Amino acid sequence: MSTLAVPPEAPAPDLAADYATRVQIDRSCRQTVLGYYASAVAWLLIGSLAALITSVKMHHPEFLGNYEWITFGRIRPVHLNTVVYGWSSMVGIGTTLWLEARLCKVRLPHRTILPATVIIWNAGVVWGVYEVLAGHSTGVEWLEFPPQVLGIFGFVLLVLFWVSLKMFNERRVRHTYVSQWYLFGSVVWFPILYSAAILLPTTGMVGGAAWATTNWWYAHNVLGLYVTPMGLATIYYLIPKVTGKPIYSYHLSLLGFWANALFYSWIGTHHLVGGPLPAWIITLGIVGSIMMFVPVTTVAINHHMTMIGKFHMLKTSPTLRFVVFGAVSYTAVSYQGSLEALRSVSHVAHFTHYTIAHAHLGMYSFYTMTMFGAMYYIVPRLTRNEWSSVPLIKIHFWTTSLGVLAYFCALSWAGWYEGEMMNNPLIPFIKIVDYTKPYLVSRSISGSFMTIGHIAFAILVFRILRSSDVSMIGPTLFTSKRGTMRWRRKEA
Amino acid sequence: MKLTYLLIWGCMLAFGSSAVWALVWAIRHGEMSDFKAGAESIFDEEEPVGRPTDAFPGARP
């Protein structure tokens, strides 16, 4: 990558004050946020490997079949838990802390405890993965780790809750930005949800249908009250910041937040459509799902209208590419989810690959892509280095975006027809298995593309963390004149 | 099953009431009084409205 040796100019006094405040805030976040990010990327790679092994086993069951530690029943929960508690949680917590510091304009507090939480959280995931691989999973989906591990996560979530409150109390801004509301949703609701969920099923206080109800109420709320608020907070901050254009309709954004807050916790029971539960519980879940049209539409209008006139920037900004991809996916997955909750749709789609495609549209296409975008924006500001390779960023974007699209299309198609065939008692089950096989192979291929993207991203993160040969004071760090690039070769 | 109902409805009530409480707090503290200022609160003198802040390494934003 070429460098231009132009010395930075001294900014005007008030500009310098704003700049200095931002640099101080970023510096205070450096150790903790980078710790969370580096760990998240490591778990992403491990989660991808587990995903690939699981996927291959779906069409070639004999693959690595002699090793009991990686049989399907163990490696599949390892994939789920490493990407949820390893990648998604750690990248989300890192982004949350940075965003809160930026939005409150205060330095990150407790800078000795917070880096320790990175180690504690990692230890929890390692312990949990070991237990699952050793065959000691609890068997409760999304909560397979033993209760002690879940207790470790609970402790870190309480620290996060405390730190968020402290920063908010000491904030130096008059206005509470919409992203702050979403982040509060995440750090306040998730510990409550999490405690409730681990209390019941893992302590054996309930069983049977009640267990399943709590389980799916929890699993769906992880998406809506933990992951989605972090993703939307990031999008609401980064699209305006990157484009330099405020949100199209601020009051719609607030309406969307409160509508999400009021309706989301109802909807988990739509996972149990057709199950042995009182009909009114499931109907309530369906009503909540349809009510989600309100917040989703506000978000969709806002994101699209903010981007109007700025779409050309998708060519020039890596952050914007990933974040806008995530934003569009959010709209798609949410509308799809609302419709999927309907009994008539669930009648076909339930217990098929269609649901798996939908889950990946949410957790990957929306959340993960958004978090990739967040890291492209935040990491250079924390390390004071620039990303080392444009081609690697492009490889990362195209392999992951096309990979997840191919994944989604193939499994949605296969899943729908699988559902139609399973509803016809005249079709033998093995025929349905044979029908889905080519699509399962295509999943392994698209998953491989996504993994290639993750490896490219891991190389970029590794290089920027160990101080690559070029540091930059230019468009991303923005110390001086509008839009003027200023590069300098780093002193050896 | 009763315990599950109690827990789930209790939590839903807690989530809902926290949202309502936050809404009342926001209105009382004037968070809803000036939407334009709210939308622009993430910009400052050094990164003002109209200035892009991200680009590929080596490219112009």
Of the candidates A240, A316, A376, the beta carbon closest to that of B61 is on A316
Domain boundaries, chain A: 13-489
* Residues of A (339-368) whose Cβ lies below 8 Å from B: none
Q: Using the predicted structure, report yes or no on whether residue A5 has a pLDDT greater than 50.
A: no
Phi, psi dihedral angles at A488 (to 5 degrees): -145, 145
Interchain contact, B57 vs A387, CB within 8 Å: yes
Does A202 score more than 80 pLDDT? no
Put simply, whether B3 touches A (Cβ < 8 Å) is yes
Give the N- to C-terminal CA distance of chain A in Å, as an integer: 17
What is the CATH T-level fold of the domain A13-489, as seen in this structure? Cytochrome C Oxidase; Chain A (1.20.210)
Banded model confidence at residue B8, pLDDT cuts 50, 70, 90:
confident
- Kindly report which listed range (A158-162, A457-461, B33-37) carries the lowest average pLDDT score: B33-37
B14 pLDDT band (50/70/90 cuts)?
confident
Chain A (87-146) residues lying within 8 Å, Cβ to Cβ, of chain B = 102-103
Residue among B15, B55, B58 minimizing CB distance to A317: B55
CA distances from A400 to A275, A404, A408, A414, A448 (A): 35, 6, 12, 21, 9
Q: What pLDDT does residue A342 have?
A: 94
A182-199, pLDDT tens digit by residue?
A: 999 999 989 888 888 877
Nearest to A271 by CA among A262, A279, A282: A282
A182: nearest Cα among A86, A272, A99, A302: A99
- Cβ-based neighbour number of residue A348 at 10 Å: 19
Q: Is the dihedral of CA A231, A234, A237, A240 positive or negative?
A: negative
Burial of A287 (0-12, 13-18, 19+ CB in 10 A): middle
Hey, what are A195's tokens?
């405690």
From start to end of A263-364, where are the E strands? none
Structure confidence at residue A239 as a pLDDT band (50, 70, 90): very high
Residues sharing a CB contact under 8 Å with residue A312, sequence separation 6 or more, in sequence order:
none
Interchain pair A189, B15: CB under 8 A: yes
Q: Where are the alpha helices (H) located in A141-244, listed in sequence order? A: 147-169, 178-203, 208-222, 228-243
ipTM > 0.90, yes or no: yes
Model pTM score: 0.92
